[in-house]
Amino acid sequence: MQTAENSSVSAGASADVGAGTATAGAAAVKHQQQQLQRQLVINARQQQTWRWWGLRLHDIEFVASFLQLMGATIFWVPCIFGASRAYLAEGVSNQRTWDGVYWLFQVVGATFFIASSLLFMFEVQPAWSPPKPLLIGWHAGFWNMIGAVGFWLSGFFGFWAVPAAKYQLGGTVLSTFWGSYAFLIGSYLQLLEAVNKHPQHLSRCLRTKH
C-alpha cells in the first residue's frame, strides 16, 4: 500500500516537473517569437527610412546609377555651352580650348553612360554571360548603351569640326539623332521595368490581355 502511494507521489511529481518544463519551453519559444517579431519590425522600419545618400559599392545597381549620375553631371557642361549658343566662331585659333570645354566633356560623359548601361544589362543576368535579351531590364540597358555610343561618337566627330566640317553632318548630327532616339526607347523600357518589379519577358509585355 505504501509502495503504491509512493509511486503515485512520484508520478505526480514527475507530471508536475514535466508540466513545468513544458511551460518553460513554451515561454521560451514565445519569447523567441516576440524577439523575432520585434527584429522584423526594426528591419522593416530601417528599410522604409528615406536616405538621401549612401554608399553601396557592392550593389551593381547602385554603381550603375552612380556612374549615370556622374555622366549626367559631366554631360551638363557641353549642354550649357550648346544651349547658350557659345559656338566657336570661324577663324578662331584657340580650337583646343573649345575641344576641351565642349567635345571632351561630351566624350567623357558619354563614356560614363556606356559603363552604366553595361552594368544595367549585367544586373538582370545571373552571370556575366550569357545575355538575357528577352528581359525588359536587359533591353533597357542595351538601348541606353546604344544611345550612349551615339553621344560618344557625336563628341568624337566634333573634334574634326573645323578641319573637315563635313563630319558635322555625317558624324556629330547623325550620331546625336539616333543616340537620342535610342535613349528614348531605353527610358520607356525602364519605365516598364519600374512598374513591373519582377523581371518581365518581352513576350509578356507585348501580349494583349482580353
Question: Rounded mean pLDDT of 181-192?
Answer: 90
Let me know whether 145 and 83 are in one domain.
yes
Task: Identify the pLDDT of residue 165.
Answer: 63
Give one DSSP letter per residue of 160-205, joined into a string. Answer: TTTT-THHIIIIIIHHHHHHHHHHHHHHHHHHHHHHS-S--BHHHH
Question: Rounded mean pLDDT of 182-190?
Answer: 91
Task: Please identify, among 32, 50, 68, the residue that sits at the C-terminal boundary of a domain.
Answer: 50
Let me know whether 38 and 81 are in one domain.
no
Residue 109 lies in a domain: yes
Residue 86 lies in a domain: yes
Residue numbers of the domain that contains 87:
60-206
The answer to whether 62 and 123 are in contact (CB under 8 A) is no
* Long-range contacts of 70-76, Cβ-Cβ distance < 8 Å, separation of 24 or more: 70/112, 71/109, 71/110, 71/111, 71/112, 71/113, 71/116, 71/148, 72/109, 73/109, 74/105, 74/108, 74/109, 74/112, 75/105, 75/106, 75/109, 75/110, 75/113, 75/151, 76/109
**At 208, is the pLDDT very low, low, confident or very high (cuts 50, 70, 90)?**
very low
Report how far residue 45's alpha carbon sits from residue 39's, in angstroms, rounded to the nearest whole number: 10
Task: Identify the pLDDT of residue 115.
Answer: 94
Let me know whether 106 and 199 are in one domain.
yes
Let me know whether 16 and 103 are in one domain.
no
Residue 155 lies in a domain: yes
Let me know whether 106 and 28 are in one domain.
no
Task: Identify the pLDDT of residue 158.
Answer: 78
Let me know whether 111 and 73 are in one domain.
yes
Let me know whether 148 and 189 are in one domain.
yes
Let me know whether 42 and 66 are in one domain.
no
Task: Identify the pLDDT of residue 210.
Answer: 43
Let me know whether 20 and 79 are in one domain.
no
Highest mean pLDDT among 34-38, 129-133, 150-154: 150-154
Residue 16 lies in a domain: yes
CA distances from 115 to 186, 203, 208 (A): 15, 27, 34
Let me know whether 108 and 18 are in one domain.
no
Q: Which of 129 and 100 is assigned the larger pLDDT?
A: 129
Q: What one-letter code names the amino acid at 16? A: D
Residue 100 DSSP symbol: I
Residue 188 lies in a domain: yes
Let me know whether 85 and 9 are in one domain.
no
Is residue 130 reached through a cis peptide bond, with omega within 30 degrees of 0 on the bond before it? yes
pTM attached to this predicted model: 0.64
Residue 55 lies in a domain: no
Assess whether pLDDT exceeds 60 at residue 36: yes
Residue 21 lies in a domain: yes
Task: Identify the pLDDT of residue 94.
Answer: 62
Let me know whether 39 and 83 are in one domain.
no
**Count of domains observed in the chain:** 2
